[in-house]
Amino acid sequence: MEIIGIVLFILLIVAVVVLGYLVNKLVLVPSRQTTGYRLSQKYPAKEIVREQRLTRFLGLESAGTSPESVLGTLVIAAGRLGFVSTDGEHDFEVLLEDIHKVDLVGSHLGFATEMPLLHVTYEGVTGVDSVAFHLPFTDEWQLALTNLTKPA
């Protein structure tokens, strides 16, 4: 009876490892490749000044509500601030010259966290709008964007 338990335990461990491998190969890697491909098409590597993967897009103020868990990559590249989403439906881009203000806030469109959010106010097509991102090193991003958007 003890041997059967050991064999079942080993089979369970093997099944978990195989399942993890399959999820990685069939779900995670294709998603990353798709986002990475779209990112490389929009922003060539030599133009990227700063990049942060696994950034959460918290929506446009003009849209009124925050989309649920939209992850992607935030970049500063060639005079633009851009976000390439993993779902391909929530990509965002604004020229650095159109940015009015970059600050850190505690909440945006009902999303709040203990970690500050990067909040960008800019001149959009329909007037002044804002967007926020949940990502690490928000203070560094704020400093970089503030320095890049200062008038010469």
Q: What is the dihedral of CA 109, 115, 120, 126, to 10 degrees?
A: -10
Q: What is the DSSP letter of 125?
A: T
Class of domain 46-149: mainly beta
Rounded Cα distance, 108 and 111, in Å: 5
For residues 94 and 2, the model is more confident at 94
pLDDT at 28: 67
The confidence score (pLDDT) of residue 97 equals: 95
Is residue 149 within 8 A of residue 96, CB to CB? The reply is: yes
Which residue bears the tokens 């446009």? 60
Other beta carbons within 10 angstroms of residue 21's beta carbon come to 10
User: In the 8-state DSSP scheme, what is residue 79?
Assistant: T
Q: Answer yes or no: is pLDDT of 33 > 70.
A: no
CA 132 – CA 125 distance, rounded (Å): 18
pLDDT 10s digits, 101-135: 999 999 998 888 889 999 999 998 889 999 999 99
What pLDDT was estimated at residue 29? 63
